[in-house]
Structure 1
Amino acid sequence: MTQEPVFEQSSGNVFADLGLSDADELFTRGKIGIQVLRLLKKRNLKQREISELLGIPQPEVSHLMKGEFQRFSEGKLLIFLKRLDTEITLHLRPRDASGQSAETVISL
């Protein structure tokens, strides 16, 4: 007799599913970091060139290219996007839809 596999619905955030206390922060870093990697891979640059472009030492480039985004703050990853000629827009609004405040948009 074979046992049926057990599946669990994901929350959409693998870090939260794993029960990590800083899940939202890790998820945000991952989403930004993946975008940085996509842009860098499109340019087909050597690590030395990436180091100069992003203003970080070559060993840090190596960590970035391996997807070790936890080594970089969200702010630092956003700076990398700007240095890669990416327009960044932040939308700030209350989590609760019944909130009275208007949405705020910030372009960086």
Structure 2
Amino acid sequence: MTVRRGGLRNTPLGMSGSGNVFADLGFEDPANELTKANVVVEVDEVIKKRGLTYAGAARIMRMPLKDLTKLSGGQTETYTIERLKELRGRLPR
């Protein structure tokens, strides 16, 4: 028998998530948070793929290094999805 609790399901094999960790944790707007997280992951992937340092990437993105460091650490509260996509777009693909 499967029992649902929020986004989590209790199954005979243990807990199963919804596919959105932010929903499972009870965030107010989980779809928005997941989109932000995915954009930040894309930024990190481009930085690694291009062999950029965070300082170099911050210059290209025209943002303070400390802000890029915070973003890479998951601190997206002060950013909209549109702003994150704009910053991502400044990086060479």
**TM-score when scaled to structure 2?**
0.73
Q: Write out aligned runs for 1:29-108 (5 A).
A: 29-85=36-92
Which structure has the larger Rg over C-alpha atoms? 1
Identity between Structure 1 and Structure 2 (%): 28
- Structure 1 position 6, deviation (Å): 6.2
Structure 2 segments unaligned to the other structure (5+ residues): 1-11
CA offsets per residue over residues 33-89 of structure 1, 9 Å max, x none?
111110111122222211111111111021123233334321121112211245xxx
Amino acid at match of 1:38: E
Aligned residues: 82
CA distance in 2, matches of 1:40, 1:50: 7
Give the distance between the partners of 1:13 and 1:74, measured in 2 at CA.
17
Q: How does 1:6-17 map to 2 (within 5 A)?
A: 7-17=14-24
Q: RCO (CA 8 Å, sep 6+): is it higher in 1 or 2? A: 2
